Amino acid sequence: MTARIALVTGASTGIGFETAIALKDSGFIVYAGARRVERMEPLKLRGISVLSLDVTSEQSMATAVASVVKAHGRVDVLVNNAGYGSYGSLEEVPLDEGRRQFEVNVMGLARMTQLVIPGMRRAGSGRIINVTSIGGKIYEPLGAWYHGTKFAVEGMSDSLRLELRPHGVDVVIIEPSGTDSGWGTIAGTGLLANSGEGPYKDQAHVVAAALASTSGSGHVLSTPARVVANTIVRAANAKRPRTRYPVGRGAWSVLAMRRILPDRIFDAVFLNFYRRLAGG
């Protein structure tokens, strides 16, 4: 059987990096894309093709997809993983940063998806796997821009699943909790830069400490990126994949609380939990 072709965005670190390896180990021909090509040298040593890919650049995205199609005639699986978390009060975060957050997390994902759909539709098969977060179902103070993007990707993915079903193309959502990639620490640092000294400073220090507690091995909500990658491989290989895959420590319990608890009670439970994470 001919090996399937997978394209992974945001593959220089964390979930994307591990996903590229896991897909390769599963038998895929893998293309890994990211802005920092030098960070993907270890992937090249494993026989993974690396691409310069900036999901805020039309030319970069179009060139990356075209190079895969030219080499193999198709993309069978697209893993939209590129993204970052911008935190800070809505009042204080500049609108340009809010736009950039949507440009990377939403518009880049949408454009990459647009570029692969025609080939998948003509083939009558394909799989688009969108990495969102449990943050696409829950919310945090000082995270309006980030959660706005993740809620948007959840809604877009659900609509897209129905659009593409008649064409044999599956759309899958991956919803990780915190990983050991250092994401939470980076997000917390950005949060303090935006809101650590102003009217939201007390709340900002609590949230930043809680975000940091989800990064690095051994922390309460930290899950190895490889665990998420393995879930993505399961979704890529499943004959009939689930529509969404919560994954990681606390993911199922947090999402269950969100479904069950009224908003005000969830607010109180979540804020108390964050204070505990922050050591307060």
- Please give the Cα distance from 179 to 223 (Å, whole number): 4
Q: Where are the alpha helices (DSSP H) in 55-200?
A: 58-72, 95-102, 108-123, 144-164, 183-195
| Amino acid found at 14 | G
Catalytic member of 31, 87, 146, 200? 146
pLDDT tens digits, one per residue of 30-78: 999 999 999 999 999 999 999 999 999 999 999 999 999 999 999 999 9
* Per-residue confidence (pLDDT) for residue 46, from 0 to 100: 96
Helices 14-25, 225-237: axis angle to 10 degrees equals 50
Joined tokens for residue 260: 């069950």
State the Rg of the chain over Cα.
19
Which segments of 124-200 does DSSP mark as H helices, in order? 144-164, 183-195
The third-level CATH classification (topology) of the domain covering 5-277 is: Rossmann fold (3.40.50)
The closest alpha carbon to 126, from 78, 73, 159, 162, belongs to 78
Task: Let me know how many helices (H) and strands (E) the chain has, helices first.
Answer: 11, 7
Q: Is 31 a catalytic residue?
A: no
Report the pLDDT value the prediction gives residue 238, as an integer from 0 to 100: 97
Question: What parts of the chain have a pLDDT lower than 70?
Answer: 1, 181, 214-221, 277-280
Chain segment 172-199, per-residue pLDDT in tens: 999 998 777 677 778 888 889 989 898 9
